[in-house]
């Protein structure tokens, strides 16, 4: 990947902030437990701050960076989170200043060698880098799920950026630097109404690229198809996302730069 930044979400930041699923609380408790201390955490590519705010319950201070001004403008303020605009590969953070670095649903966008070098610079010895992503959602109800999968693969499918493949295969081909940490499994689920599912799909980068390319909204196709099999509009259906977590610990003498 090149070091240039392409903002896939700035135009949908409002929907991103409102409709993106939250991460399971036990994940953040586990992260706090493996970090060498709970002084400072860096949430890189924070988006609208979902992970950063959750980290703030466990760390004295959280610095949340993102290259997108649009995303940061939609982020929810929190007294324990310091939002800053900066690229992943050049955070501007002090050297040896962080106990934990996290990347939620974003590592696939980075120039990874440069980012890993930045993580090595920023982490304290013994600090932890943890990254996670969630893949294609599965929706309760065979007919409803079929419509969601059709939308994902066929309607907006041609508009997914190439990096999305890394998410779909569960980061299988992504290796982290430093010493690998074993990670537990975490469940990522939500019970949503029809409007929440539609809002979530509207926040996808592929939906944004579809609108830019064709001048129409792909949700106008999904809405009637999904409504026809949903039932009462306020009915909630469960979504399940496959969640992949990888983590590694920085130890002096085990350099990604060497």
- Tell me what pLDDT residue 95 has: 97
Q: What is the structure's pLDDT at 163?
A: 84
Q: What is the model's pLDDT at position 8?
A: 42
In the chain the domains, ranked by start, together with CATH numbers, are 10-137+161-188+242-249 (3.40.50.150)
Give residue 2's pLDDT. 37
Predicted pLDDT at 217: 98
Q: Tell me: the pLDDT tens digits for 14-36?
A: 554 567 788 999 999 999 999 99
pTM for the whole structure: 0.86
pLDDT at 24: 95
- Which helix H or strand E contains 82, and what residues bound it? strand 81-85
Q: Which pLDDT score is estimated for 233?
A: 80
**Rounded to whole angstroms, how far apart are CA atoms 133 and 156?**
20
pLDDT of 164 reads 86
SS3 percent helix, strand, coil of the chain, rounded to 5, is: 40, 20, 40
pLDDT value, residue 1: 35
pLDDT for 162 equals 87
Spell out the alpha helix ranges (H) of the chain.
13-19, 25-34, 50-55, 69-73, 112-122, 142-150, 164-168, 194-202, 205-214, 219-230
CB-based contact 193:233 (threshold 8 Å)? yes
For the chain, list residues with pLDDT below 50: 1-3, 5, 7-11, 16, 258
Res 140: pLDDT: 97
């Amino acid at each position: 990947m090149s070091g240039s930044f392409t903002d896939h979400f700035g135009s949908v930041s409002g929907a991103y902030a409102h409709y993106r699923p939250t991460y399971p609380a036990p994940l953040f408790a586990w992260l706090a437990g493996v970090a060498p201390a709970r002084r400072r955490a860096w949430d890189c590519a924070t988006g609208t701050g979902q992970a950063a705010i959750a980290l703030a319950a466990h760390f004295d201070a959280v610095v949340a960076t993102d290259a997108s001004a649009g995303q940061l403008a939609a982020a929810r303020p929190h007294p324990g989170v310091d939002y800053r605009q900066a690229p992943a590969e050049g955070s501007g953070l002090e050297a040896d200043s962080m106990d934990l670095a996290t990347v939620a649903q974003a590592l696939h966008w980075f120039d990874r060698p440069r980012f890993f070098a930045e993580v090595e610079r920023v982490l304290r010895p013994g600090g932890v880098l943890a990254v996670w992503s969630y893949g294609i959602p599965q929706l309760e109800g065979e007919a409803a799920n079929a419509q969601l999968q059709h939308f994902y693969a066929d309607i907006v499918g041609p508009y997914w950026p190439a990096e999305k493949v890394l998410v779909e295969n569960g980061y299988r081909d992504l290796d982290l630097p430093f010493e690998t940490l074993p990670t537990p499994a975490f469940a990522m689920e939500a019970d949503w109404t029809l409007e929440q599912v539609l809002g979530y799909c509207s926040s996808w980068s592929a939906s944004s690229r579809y609108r830019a390319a064709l001048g129409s909204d792909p949700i106008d196709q999904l809405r009637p198809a999904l409504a026809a099999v949903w039932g009462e509009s306020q009915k909630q259906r469960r979504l399940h996302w496959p969640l992949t977590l990888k983590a590694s610990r920085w130890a002096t003498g085990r350099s990604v730069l060497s």
